[in-house]
Amino acid sequence: MFKDLVIVVAVIVATILIVMAASTSFGARPLRIYDYGPPLAAGVVAVVALLRDARRK
């Protein structure tokens, strides 16, 4: 379970960092919540699902 949690968190962080780098380095506009909100929300849902599944076992 710990390995799965680390993988999910790593994917979330990588996705958010890529989005932040692309949004700010291109200079088109400042970073907005809807840039990193969906991957962050999906990650939170995935972590909650992992923890709930681990508690059931």
Query: Helices 2-25 and 33-56: crossing angle, nearest 10°?
Result: 180
Q: What is the pLDDT of residues 1-20, one digit of tens each?
A: 788 888 888 988 888 888 87
The reported pLDDT for the residue numbered 26 is: 64
Whether 13 and 46 have beta carbons less than 8 Å apart is answered as no
Q: How far apart are CA 47 and CA 42, in angstroms?
A: 9
User: Which residues touch 52 (CB under 8 Å, ≥6 apart)?
Assistant: none
8 class by beta-carbon count within 10 Å (0-12 exposed, 13-18 middle, 19+ buried): middle
Q: What is the pLDDT of residues 19-49, one digit of tens each?
A: 877 777 666 677 677 777 888 888 889 889 8
Name the DSSP class of 30: -
